[in-house]
Amino acid sequence: MDSSDVEKRGRFLLWRSATNECCSLLKLACKINRSVKTQSYETPLREGQPTFEEFRKGKSNYVAGMLHASHMLEYEELYHSNFPTLVECYLIKDYCMMLMSVFFCQMLNIGYGHNGIASKNTKEFVNTHFNEIVKTSFSNEADRAEFIKLKDTLLAARDTMIGHADAKSFDIQHGAGLTSLKMPIISVKDIDPEVAYKLMKGFEKGLSEYSEEVLRIFEASKV
């Protein structure tokens, strides 16, 4: 195997590492989602501590069926917990999704190489291999289209609001004494962690199979 083949192996290894990180983060996001749905994040109340529902009903701006973030923050400030609270569970999930976009885009954005170890992640390298890996990963056209949609969302999120700050994407509004803007999480808010995890696992398997086959062909051609 010559140096160019070794470098391809090194770059594919980096792609596989990035995909593995994505799967780990999505798995954690799914677990947090289930914890919220089953309320298993809750810890036993201390003596004299009201439930959150009792606490918020005592607030002057309480409205049945409406959850105020200020109520949650005030409750958590007064009654600390050693375990993640509801708000913190949402934060953990959100940060998992944002960090996942960064790892995923390691495969799509330009990356320096290491001579004799790993090739550069050039547009040419990505264009040559990425879509072929998607085809290998998903035989079903609907799954393939869903993965491409996920890829486009993650790339846009990373390039405009998470890895960079594209001002237009934040929709900054200047008003009289008040300035508002969208937060980075909005860029990945519509991604379902359960669906994304299933797709990413499929891509992970396809990437492994494709990279091994490409390198097998390279090695065979040298014989």
CB atoms within 10 A of CB 8: 19
User: Any idea how long the chain is?
Assistant: 223
Decide if pLDDT at 155 tops 80: yes
**Model confidence at 16, in pLDDT bands (50, 70, 90)?**
very high
The set of long-range contacts for 156-161, using a CB threshold of 8 Å and a minimum separation of 24, is: 156/187, 157/98, 157/101, 157/184, 157/187, 157/188, 158/101, 158/102, 158/104, 158/105, 158/109, 159/105, 159/109, 160/187, 161/186, 161/187
Which of 1-5, 6-10, 83-87 is the least confident region? 1-5
CA distances from 61 to 29, 64, 80, 201 (A): 32, 10, 23, 45
Decide if pLDDT at 158 tops 60: yes
Decide if pLDDT at 56 tops 60: yes
pLDDT at 42: 64
pLDDT at 200: 98
pLDDT at 44: 65
**Model confidence at 136, in pLDDT bands (50, 70, 90)?**
very high
Q: How far is CA 110 from the centre of its chain?
A: 19
**Model confidence at 2, in pLDDT bands (50, 70, 90)?**
very low
Q: What is the mean pLDDT of the chain?
A: 89
**What percent of the chain lies above the pLDDT cut of 90?**
60
pLDDT at 1: 44
